[in-house]
Chain A
Amino acid sequence: MSHAETTRIGRGQEPASRRLHVDWTACDGRGLCAELLPELLTEDDWGFPVARGDMTVPPALEPAARQAVDRCPALALRLVSERPAPASS
Chain B
Amino acid sequence: MTDALWYFARGSGVVSLVLLTVVVALGIGARSGRTAFGLPRFAVNLLHRNAALLAVVFLAGHVVSLLFDPYAQLRVFDLVLPFAGNYRPVWQGLGTLAFDLLLAIVITSLLRKRLGARVWRIVHWLAYLCWPVALLHGLGTGSDNGTVWLWTISALCTLLVVAAVGWRLAPSFSRFPERARRHINPRLLPAPTPALTQPGTPSQPGTPPQPGTPPQPGTPPPAHFGARASAQPGSYEEVR
**A residues with CB within 8 A of B:** 18-19, 21, 26, 29-32, 35-36, 46-47, 71, 73-75, 78-83, 85
With both beta carbons as reference points, the residue of chain A lying nearest to B240 in the complex is identified as A79
B interface secondary structure, majority:
mixed
In the complex, A82→B238 CA distance in Å?
9
- A81 with B237, Cβ < 8 A, contacts A35-B40, A47-B176, A73-B45 known: yes
Taking the nearest CB of chain A, how far is it from the CB of B50, in angstroms? Answer: 12
Q: Can you show 28 pairs from A to B with CB atoms below 8 A apart?
A: A19-B236, A26-B117, A29-B33, A29-B176, A29-B179, A30-B33, A30-B41, A31-B41, A32-B45, A35-B41, A36-B42, A46-B176, A46-B179, A47-B33, A47-B175, A47-B179, A73-B45, A74-B117, A75-B112, A75-B116, A78-B238, A78-B239, A79-B238, A80-B236, A81-B236, A81-B239, A83-B235, A83-B237
Besides the known contacts A21-B236, A46-B176, A75-B113, 4 further A-B residue pairs in the complex with CB atoms under 8 A apart = A19-B236, A31-B175, A46-B179, A83-B236
**Chain A residues in 8 Å Cβ range of B74:** none
Q: B113 contacts which chain A residues (CB < 8 A)?
A: 75
Residue B30 interfacial (CB < 8 Å):
yes
Does any Cβ of A come within 8 Å of B156's Cβ?
no
B interface residues with partner A (beta carbon < 8 Å): 30, 33, 40-42, 45-46, 112-113, 116-117, 175-176, 179, 235-239
B33 near A31 with CB under 8 A, answer yes
CB distance from A56 to the nearest CB of B (A): 12
- A71–B46 Cα gap in the complex (Å)? 8
Give CA–CA (A89, B41) in the complex, Å.
42
Evaluate contact between A80 and B42: CB separation under 8 angstroms: no
CB distance from A22 to the nearest CB of B (A): 13
Alpha-carbon distance A80/B180, docked complex (angstroms): 30
Chain A residue, CB-CB nearest to B116 = A75
- C-alpha gap A21/B237 in the complex (Å): 11
**B238 contacts A80, CB within 8 Å?**
yes
Cα–Cα, bound, A73→B45 (Å): 9
Cα(A27)–Cα(B179), bound, Å: 14
Closest 8 CB pairs of A and B: A80-B236, A75-B117, A79-B239, A32-B42, A35-B42, A81-B239, A82-B236, A32-B41
Nearest-Cβ distance from residue B39 to partner chain A, whole angstroms? 11
A72 to chain B, nearest CB (A): 9
Q: Across the interface, which residues of A come within 8 angstroms of B238, CB to CB?
A: 78-80
A26 neighbours in B (Cβ, 8 Å): 117
Chain A residues, Cβ within 8 Å of B179: 29, 46-47
- Cα A17 to Cα B163 in complex, Å, equals 47
